[in-house]
Amino acid sequence: MHRIFCIPELVRLIVSYAACEEEHNTFDGAPHFSHEDSQRLLAGLARTSTIFTDAALDFLWGNIGYGPDVLFLVLRLLPQNCARLLLDNEGNVVSLVVDRPLVQSDWTRILWYSKRVKTYEHDSYWSASVHLRPLCLLFSTLPATFLFPNLLELSWCFQGEDDMQLSSRFLSPSLQDVWFSGDTRGVLWASTALAAQNHNLVGFSATCANGTSVEPDAFGAFLGSWKHIRSLRLPACTAKELRQLSSLAALTSLVLDTFVGPSKFLDGNRDARFVALKYLTLGQISLSTAADILPTTDKSPLEGVRLVGLTLPTTNTLVDLITGIIHSRTLNTLHIQVKGDSDFIAPVHSLTCIRHETLTSLCLCVDGGYLFDDVDFADWLPLVPMLQELVLAQMVPQSRLTLDALVSLAEKSPRLSSFGATLRVPHFPTLRPSSVRQARPQQETLSTLRVGLTDPTHLHEMAAFLSGLFPGLTTIDHGFVDTSPPGRQWKEVERWLDVIRRCRKEEQEWTLLLKTEGGRNTRLG
């Protein structure tokens, strides 16, 4: 044996080339294998030589995937005389039958492989009582504390007490990313149990079933101990918990589904809060609380802000809030959805306060008032030159944008690829193909359009109009409001767009052919 094979890092590098599936290839010059070919190569390496066995098995089991398949494969390693998996004709597990309690020697083979598993997702497939109770009985004899001691990623949907008992065998201290969902009691129990033995989490997400509430400060006992956490999602948050979060130096992404507490809660230097935060999503929150959380300095690394279910006392406060957010020079995404029962009734005559050189995605959804008229819209577009996605969703009666807004887009937003808005079309029947054929600016990058219209007629002319403005348009949807044309009518627009594109392509091909043939004839003559 060459001494090069005594270096574990080189052995793993050799094996990693066999694990390079086409969609996960990270090595320059590495071959591209399908998933099946990669699995066969790794299995062959594991059998070929003891030099490659450990490394090949690590890749095989480490990338085995999510879902019930992982546990299914592990349970198949059980001795035949102690437990049986009953399968249906399609190979699905119908029941798990435990014939006798397992002893330590029965687990030897399982633990040899299970220590290599890196990801596991426990979903409703294994949450049925026909599976859970036998599994709990089975794992009660496990000689180790955890079934997967080197697990890195865990996703668990809780549905009852059996889930809580079983999950304790999967809360390994090695975990880096965790997603808990479902029954509130199970989510809180598992979160507390995990925090007691794991202070090195990088990502944590907890969501609870619809209609359930979370006790105040349910996560406050352990949030401060996760010093390395970078991504965090909580179903609810209080002022006390938010104070702990604001001091986490590694936190770059924060999602709070709801906020419970007073609007003023943070004291001290605002610039010292959330120093690394790049992405922030706040749900069901008042404007004053949102303003208190958001950084106000242009040195903030904030790149994306999403405010969902925002309540506003007055219209002007929305402008004030946005003005504060866009101080961040690195901001590229801003999504704001104003709650339906908000007192947002006075018109916003202009949101030209949104001017930003790096903003690429803007979404504003309001139930009352209006965001722009055509003149404001045309004047505003040059202030956001990098926009690639723009959504302005509002009720039709309040909308002041017309088809002229689309012309402004074609003229002034060369990078936009997706646009959604509610448009008023008070004089759409006056649109004629002759006006469509007039010289119009063409915007090549727009591929997706979502619009709500007040008049669903003259769809053929609409298709020609859109095709003339946006030659790259491939997807069109019927907007945000009930008064929009039904989907089947927009399918008609899509069909006509298709016809127009094909005709245009054939015309270009014929023009090129005639030019070529004409050139040849000229030379021959």
Residues 29 and 90 in one domain: no
Last residue of a domain, one of 144, 170, 196: 170
Q: Is residue 7 part of a domain?
A: yes
Under the phi-then-psi rule, with left for phi > 0, alpha for psi from -120 to 50, and beta for the rest, what region is 9? Answer: alpha
Whole-model pTM: value is: 0.81
Q: Is residue 441 domain-resident?
A: no
Q: How confident is the model at residue 365 (pLDDT cuts 50, 70, 90)?
A: confident
- 36 within some domain: yes
Q: How many CB atoms lie within 10 A of CB 3?
A: 6
489 within some domain: no
Q: Is residue 451 part of a domain?
A: no
Number of domains present in the structure of the chain: 2
Of 313, 220, 229, the closest CA to residue 274 belongs to 229
For the chain, percent of residues with pLDDT exceeding 90: 21
Q: How confident is the model at residue 170 (pLDDT cuts 50, 70, 90)?
A: very high
Q: Are residues 42 and 108 in the same domain?
A: no
Question: Is 282 contained in some domain?
Answer: no
Average pLDDT score over residue span 355-359: 87
Alpha carbon dihedral 189, 193, 198, 199, in 10-degree steps, equals 70
Q: Give yes or no for a contact between 27 and 15, defined as CB atoms under 8 angstroms apart.
A: no
Domain with 25 in it: 3-61
* Whether pLDDT at 362 is above 80: yes
Q: Are strands 93-98 and 83-87 parallel, antiparallel or unpaired?
A: antiparallel
- Final residue in a domain of this structure, among 129, 149, 170: 170
Are residue 39 and residue 73 in the same domain, yes or no?
no
The reply to whether 56 and 72 lie within a common domain is no
Q: What is the structure's pLDDT at 24?
A: 45
Which of 117-131, 134-148, 198-212, 226-240 ranks highest by mean pLDDT? 226-240
Query: Within this chain, do residues 82 and 49 fall inside the same structural domain, yes or no?
Result: no
Whether 14 and 69 share a structural domain? no
User: 253 lies in a domain?
Assistant: no
Q: Are residues 54 and 80 in the same domain?
A: no
Q: For residue 431, name the pLDDT band (cuts at 50, 70, 90).
A: very low
Last residue of a domain, one of 170, 188, 216: 170
Q: Could you tell me if residue 94 is inside a domain? A: yes
Report which residue type is found at 366.
Answer: V
Model confidence at 523: pLDDT above 70:
no
Identify whether residues 74 and 44 lie together within a single domain: no
Q: Which 3-state string (H, E, C) describes 241-255?
A: HHHHHHCCCCCCEEE
247 or 187: whose pLDDT is higher? Answer: 187
Same domain, 77 and 166: yes
Average confidence (pLDDT) over 376-393 = 89
> Span 333-344, mean pLDDT?
72
Same domain (yes/no): 57, 89: no
The answer on 68 and 43 residing in a single domain is: no
Tell whether 37 and 73 lie within a shared domain. Answer: no
Per the structure block, which two tokens stand in for 411?
Answer: 């003229």
